[in-house]
A and B are shown apart, each in its own frame.
Chain A
């Protein structure tokens, strides 16, 4: 009997939206920094090339999703809908850039939707213009199966992100643990909580999933016959590799360079220590040697350091060590219970959980300035923070509404959203 099975559903998103290179590519990378105002994007209603109801509906849906993505990004900001009344309707063949400049658009997104060759499919053509220089920057054409409109819009939005040197955000996936079907199993969802699909089908608990940076593998713990075994699941091949099956093994974390896998194991002396393996699970090496608990490893963006939790000083505190296990230094301060560090992919921020008077809130420590920001403020347990690929957003679990659910929040504490509603949901990890 095979105990662990997978849903092939998640593979769909990899194959079903085909990208057709449309225009000659120019390598335009504009870089933006934090604190810069978001870039206003004009995105007038998408042109409909056929009068087919399907096209009409798709044009509306695609635009809505694209705008929601841009609004979430903190990089872009869509123009308010009311601004469009001040300019004449867009003629894609003859764009009057001065008009768009007059309503403060920096970028102009011109979308057009037509019927596809396959039945019910539609084609989205998106062109991005720089308004001031009146230049065409980028074009994309997607042949879309009707069930995958969301994905196509997310891909389009990610093209905009890439244009500004940002990692793809809207096609990223959040892996998490849910008990909605009876016991704790692993699920996937989009960044916005859509498309929640079940990944593992066990009768045992599956726990603490973590993405590999290639978005193709997930490491997680499965409790089987009284053992907490660490596995690596290859999403494309459906292959499962055992990393460590002696002791209790948990809290996996792939290094951002994709070469290593750090995790906790109680292999020796029933005490949680941090180990590191190759990313395929072989060549396991112990990193911490301490009678205290060492847990919750998270890698620096350079893959050269690991932050982790240890109670070697008496209470759980956050430390950073070199990836070889040396040069350990204490970084948390001002409290006696800190755990679950998550190192932002952008480098200087460390999100973590702090327990104060039995309330758990998320904090962000700026490693460069040593300043701390309190991210959540609720009379509840906010836990397990994980960063978005661009380091502007986080997901976490919270019981602020009674049951444990997954929320997302921006790095400055704004834009709180609840992503899950069914059963209890926890331990999210965001693909990078």
Chain B
């Protein structure tokens, strides 16, 4: 039974002529083997009713152990204050902001996949959108944690928001840091809304097929009594389409605002107009690396090769290659502008960045983000689990170093008297790897208890003769 069936492209609604949207020349099978509506449910939904595969325990326990480390690190931080970290006066941002930008960047691929690829009629997103959206939510949770911890008095976090108070003090809305609060809060909330709305039909499906009463009750409560009414579906699709339309500028705005945290300052090499696009490309680059790094083990443990095919990973590899080249253009542009701009400080800081005390991190970044991803030009590498995994891990490390290189610029800026050094402490590392533990714990709990690939969307994607909607995707009949 290895007959590959092709998703029929008999769209009743094709993208309007002249809209520039391609009519999908691809005829790659997006779903391997002739799945039916029932077998999709069995393969994707029943995962949550079955015992855990061994790999799940591996991932979960590793994450859970790291999470304990995070809790210890945070407890010590709350007791002692931010002095336990390596931050000092020239480098006041340190690991906290490096990790914040790294995590939030990872989240962006989830929104790109769920919203932008949806609007572009890229049907291959259906196999990976659900768990990338979950990845987004968990990554933003990890990201949001760092600025709060970095504040020193995290229990006053609500001071970031404008609320009526007797002191009559309100946030300063000319500051990108305040914009960032709103951008990240909105991003988290909208991602959660998008994810939950996508989950409702699948929760209803789980409610109707759960073997145990307690499962029927819990999934039933979460499904809100969804019945799949045609009228409800029409409203649902409209909301889904509009959320995708809102998330698209949102995801670009979030990382743009994150880059403003740097670019609106006057630090040399930060004060650059290339920062917003450069940051957004880097976010998607690292996010896709995380998607691939999660998809490869998960599809093997849960035997999802029918749905997450090599073709899907091939496409992810291409996106990584393209965004990686954009990011490298950014590196080139930074150096070029510093040299061509004839600013003493810009060029001096560039030399420090390349050959100064932290120059090793710059070359590390170039190796991980420029040299290693070139492997992806090879189609064989893009279709090999091993090579994709290798490249993804390097990209994740490389993108972390990119933010490190940017933040460490603070150590050598204008006047040599203000120069300094920065060294992270063991608590910096504990918090950083601990946040990975939080992420992995949440991700593996998600994989365990919720369908990691959308059943409703996958059913709709099946060819007509297999009972599906003939290659439709979730918002294509939403006037």
Chain A partners chain B: no
A residues adjacent to B (C-beta < 8 A): none
B residues adjacent to A (C-beta < 8 A): none
